[in-house]
Amino acid sequence: MADALTTLAVMFDLNLEFELHPIQITKRDVSAYCMNVGNDNKPWYFDIKQYIKCREYPYEASENDKRTIRRLAMNFFLSGEVLYRRNHDMVLLRCVDEEEAK
Q: Is 84 helix (H, G, I), strand (E, B) or coil?
A: strand
Tell me whether residue 28 is in a domain: no
Number of structural domains the chain divides into: 1
Tell me whether residue 9 is in a domain: no
Tell me whether residue 3 is in a domain: no
Mean pLDDT of 9-35: 74
Tell me whether residue 11 is in a domain: no
Are 96 and 85 in contact by the 8 Å Cβ rule? The answer is: no
pLDDT of 16 strictly over 70:
no
Tell me whether residue 81 is in a domain: yes
Residue 1 banded pLDDT, cuts 50, 70, 90: low
For the chain, the maximum distance between any two Cα atoms, rounded to a whole number of angstroms, is: 74
Domain range for residue 67? 42-102
Q: Where are the beta strands (DSSP E) in 1-102?
A: 76-79, 82-86, 92-94
Q: What is the pLDDT of residue 99?
A: 84
- Which positions ≥6 away from 45 have C-beta within 8 Å? 76, 83, 95, 97
Closest CA to 68 of 77, 59, 57, 78: 57
Q: What is the pLDDT of residue 34?
A: 66
